[in-house]
Structure 1
Amino acid sequence: MNLLADRVVLVSGGTQGVGAAVVRAALRQGATVAFSGRRAEAGESLAAQLRDAGGEVTFVQADVSDPAQATASVQRVVECYGRIDGLVNAAGLTTRGTLLDTTPELFDAHVAANLRGPFFTMQATVRDLVRRGEPGAIVNVITMSAHGGQPYLAPYVASKAGLVGLTRNAAYAHRFDRIRINGLNIGWTETEGEDAIQRRFHGADDRWRAEAAARLPMGRLGQVDEIADMVVFLLSDRSGVVTGSVIDWDQTVPGAHD
């Protein structure tokens, strides 16, 4: 459908999981795509695969928890392509911690990756759009846990709930600049990162996916390609004038109970 034809889009955390799925979906819909990540080898390998398949893609090594690198990742895109039209913040940290055992270092790491990083990639993107007087779209990948979450996700929830507020604040501030900013609260999703987390923190084995799926209403975990399609829709003009929305992309209903 070429929903993103002639758009230049940056995806943070694009080397794996949801971010990598968004990169592929944006390319399929006609975008020129840059994606960032900390791991140079993984990023360059994925970029080479996508270029071999005909995609216009660039990998930018960046750790968005560092504000200078977050800003520089956007500047690199503008240097390469002359502009940036869309941004997806998919990078994030999901390590565990409760209110009682979270250290200041762990708390700061979550805020840096999940809130401060998106703040400064958004800042740099909006600056370029405002400078050029052009419309644009930003999508922040957030989490259903921003509604409250599990006890072992205390610093994660704090940082992601902050991103919900930031999404709405920035959307309101720049609505007359025609910059649409939305968020997606994703639920339990099957990714490489989630597999590692389940094994590291919850003692999971190879059966965890099937066991998890059996407990869910739809009988399966969310899939990254489904999320990526929703992100592309929000980036595109097909989502109309929608801005400041944080959409629950999940099979649970917050606040409802028997």
Structure 2
Amino acid sequence: MQPLLDQKVLLVTGGTQGLGRAIAEAAAREGAAGVAIVGRNAEKAEVALVAIRAAASAAASAAAGAPDAPGAAASAADETPAFEAVAIIADLAVPGEAERVVAETVARFGRVDSLVNAAGATSRGTLLDTSRELLQEHLNLNLVVPFMTMQGAVADMRERGSSGTIVNIISMAMHGGQPYLAPYTASKAGLAGLTKNVAFAHRFDRIRINGLNIGWTATPGEAATQKNFHGAADDWLASAEAAQPMGKLGQPDEIADAVVFLLSERSGVVTGSIIDWDQNVPGAYDQ
């Protein structure tokens, strides 16, 4: 069976850790020709690149029937263009960096076929204690940055006369969220609206743009958030999962599979969809 992202070039913001890294690894397993990940930390980026390249190598070996003979392995490798993964170190909070990471990806690979906006701010704030600076941080990272990366990616796709796909990682908080997520909710609700707007504007360019409203997800970043903002104990994850309908939090690899599906041709004509990827249902009540 043909890989879902056969020979595609993918750009993933926030791709050096957590969900973004899981998406990059999934893309490598599904036949991507190139993956560019964006993050601020060079050490995390190098660790992520090792994992992404390993995922691509394992997938290639499996596709070749995992040949034991070195000559057979080399022959199989000759038939498939070499996979390439690169890291672009950038602080997306700095004006101009979002545009730069798209330009560097195009310069390195010659194109961007798919874009995933997974980077974002997750710090806390209520209506009453959120400063203008904190609000601006959330609006910048969660809305302005995706706006600018989409602008660059769509411009490249249109210039080449090529179709393309984009997935924005949004949040269930866009439906309202908790009181301590006021700036986060505002920015993610804006991203949901932007996703639909851009999907509509570029549907005849055959550029499909969708969003995932992810729920509570078990990532290293979430562990830090729970401890830093909510004083969670070391066993917070076990307690949290026990209270969930499915007995666990969302898993990065599961979300990554959903993202890759939306990026691929297997998701058909779907565009402008904001999908609730969660085990809780907004607007439904026990009593």
TM-score normalised to structure 1 length: 0.97
Aligned to 1:235: 263
Partner of 2:149: 121
Which residue does 1:6 correspond to in 2? 7
Structure 2, unpaired ranges of 5+: 58-82
Tell me which moved more, 35-44 or 157-166.
Answer: 35-44
For 1:145, the equivalent position in structure 2 comes to 173
Aligned residue in 2 for 1:88: 116
1:67 Cα offset (Å): 3.7
Verify: 1:226 aligned to 2:254, yes or no: yes
Where 2:284 maps in the other structure, the secondary structure is coil
Q: 1:239/1:49 Cα in 2 relative to 1: closer, same or farther (>3 Å)?
A: closer
1:215 deviation in Å? 1.2
- The question of whether the paired residues in 2 share the 8 Å contact of 1:71 and 1:120 is answered with yes
Q: Is residue 50 of structure 1 aligned with residue 52 of structure 2?
A: yes
Matches within 5 A, 1:23-38: 23-31=24-32, 32-38=34-40
Q: 1:96 corresponds to which letter in structure 2?
A: R
Where does 1:168-187 land on structure 2 (aligned, <5 Å)? 168-187=196-215
Aligned partner (choices 33, 58, 62) of residue 90 of structure 2: 62
| In 2: Cα distance, 1:38 partner to 1:2 partner | 30
C-alpha separation between the residues in 2 aligned to 1:38 and 1:85?
Answer: 23
| Distance of 1:212 and 1:73 partners within structure 2 | 36
Segments of structure 1 that go 5 or more residues without pairing to the other structure are: none
AA partner of residue 13 (structure 2): S
Q: Quick one: which amino acid aligns to residue 105 of structure 1?
A: E
TM-score normalised to structure 2 length: 0.88
Q: CA deviation at 1:81?
A: 0.7
Q: For the Cα contact (< 8 Å) 1:129–1:135, is it kept in 2?
A: yes
Does the 8 A contact of 1:63 with 1:69 survive in 2? yes
Corresponding residue to 2:187 among 152, 159, 163: 159
* Residue correspondences, number: 258
Q: CA deviation at 1:171?
A: 0.2
Q: Tell me how far 1:98 sits from its aligned partner.
A: 0.3
Q: Which has the larger radius of gyration?
A: 2
Q: Secondary structure at the match of 1:93?
A: coil
Percentage of identical aligned residues: 60
Whole-angstrom CA distance in 2 between matches of 1:46 and 1:141: 19
**CA distance in 2: counterparts of 1:228 and 1:61, whole angstroms:** 22
Runs of 4+ in structure 1 displaced over 4 angstroms? none
Match of 2:79 in 1: none
Q: Distance in 2 between matches of 1:62 and 1:134?
A: 27
RMSD after superposition: 1.1
Q: Residues of 2 paired with 1:114 and 1:10: CA distance?
A: 16
